[in-house]
Amino acid sequence: MKILAVCTGNAEMLPGKSYRTGIFKHPVDAGVMIDREGLIGDKICNRKHHGGVDQAVYALGSVDLDWWSKELGRDLEPGIFGENLVIEGADSRKISVGDRFETETVELEVTSARIPCATLAVRMDDPGFAKRFAKAGRPGFYCRVLKDGVVQVGDAVTYHAYSGVPVLMPELLETYGKNLSDEDRARYIAAPIHHKLRAKLSG
């Protein structure tokens, strides 16, 4: 397992909208420093819904990107969904909250799934893409940064599965905004989930 792409973006106007977005990510060749807030130099415009310590890095597996390329019938460049990292061999359908990805210098811990929004639909030039993305169950995964460092294409990645009862990314996507059973709520809270989701479930 290794890093296939490192992607950053600038603030750009969204077509047909009056606001800027950082969703337009592009691969970079040089090493990029990652700290607790994410990739240095990567622009995040909507801090209410994006970024922060529990959404510092958005990653996608190569399995996901390959699937979407076939689904959409075209080769997709890394960064197309706003992801910062593409990790070889990772499949977000099988990733759980609490899973960790470690390079020689950086350690990431999965906190939550990516929830599709209207900005993604405009980015993909498809008004129905948010629903299509949710239905596919391949949302990628947000991570908090446990250890700062520099990442670069080609860096070897070690995967550590969460030792507790898993909360998978497709499950988080499917249950977003819905009521959970007491058993599922307890399972979610037991995992190192995003602090905002934890607050909602604990309230």
Q: Tens of pLDDT along 140-197? A: 999 999 999 999 999 999 999 999 999 999 999 999 888 889 999 999 999 999 998 8
* Burial class of residue 15 in the structure, from the number of CB atoms within 10 Å of its CB (0-12 exposed, 13-18 middle, 19+ buried): exposed
Q: What are 21's strand-pairing partners?
A: 12
Measured over the CA atoms of residue 170, residue 94, residue 32 and residue 193, the dihedral's sign is positive
Count of domains forming the chain: 1
Nearest to 50 by CA among 126, 137, 117: 117
**Domain of 175?**
3-202
For residue 184, which phi and psi values (nearest 5 degrees)?
A: -70, -40
Domain with residue 11: its CATH number is 2.40.33.20
pTM: 0.91
- Pure H helices in 118-181: 118-123, 129-136, 169-175
d(CA 115, CA 144): 16
Over the chain (203 residues), what is each successive 10-residue block's mean pLDDT? 94 76 88 94 72 90 96 93 96 97 97 88 86 92 97 97 96 88 92 91 80
d(CA 12, CA 133): 22
User: What pLDDT is recorded for position 104?
Assistant: 95
